[in-house]
Structure 1
């Protein structure tokens, strides 16, 4: 197996995607784990997400910045949205998710609410948010796109790795990706050995 420092971005993401987010969080001294109020909007179903961050900051309840950013997404991107923690409006639904999927986006993380949860599950599109509401958003601005954004108490920089599973979301700073991967894989191997010794 190649050493993490020698891996391409695609190989890093593939190996991170195979790890529990909990092990990745442990490898970062349990820091850079997104607020537990931000969870998958699907019922727990083996959801996995690993991609590079495209941060956006929007006004509470307003999704103009998301609309303006969608068409610049690249394959492997994760849209990470600081929605001010507002829960009175849904910032995205299945139509925006469909546009993002068509661009190769692999998931959304929003410090806000969303809607169309059943459609998102049927699309198998990973979305992590504070909850759901049928109330639609405004589209007036202002917003910031492509700059560092705080999402669930974690600062997300462009190009950071964003990982999600049924437990929640963690953010790996790009500069630490190889180091964190090595520690997380070691942690996962140790836990796998412990499980075998316990007998499950």
Structure 2
């Protein structure tokens, strides 16, 4: 489906259905909805709102640490990420003893668990949801500006862009919202090195280093 400006087909302007007396509260309510435990999508200065959100794609591999916390349990392990395609990522979760705890792949066809230890397998869905929201396919339907933040409606949920440079800061996927932060340059691009979710299951992925797999960018 081609992109439509305004998002009226999927997200009507709430101002039309809210009494005028309450209209002054909408900016406050919107900012509250975008904030989570002190986090929020940064506003974009007007001068930066013409920036393109599409970036050329560069294949990369990264290494870091993943922490998954749930009621009564917690996992902390190394993780290795490999992104060879614009809408795909493969992640290996490796214990401190060198044992591969899980090998996951997110792509256009969905998620594949190539391997996982039995105790961890039931806990992997929130991790899959995070990876899908951050790296999986998301065909754009429409976009609009709201209080200095760019909201992009996609087939997998809303994506919020903000700040200067104008970058993806939050992705609403199949599970909890995913926050993206600590952007660093790579081959002229900006790559998030911190991904996290909040909720009953909390996940934090902190990437220590990212290296390009190819030297020549391709258009995403």
TM-score band by shorter chain is under 0.3
Q: Which has the higher strand share?
A: 2
Greater RCO between the two (CA within 8 Å, min separation 6)?
A: 1
TM-score (norm 2): 0.23
Larger radius of gyration: 2
**TM-score (structure 1 length as normaliser):** 0.24
Structure with the largest fraction of helix:
1
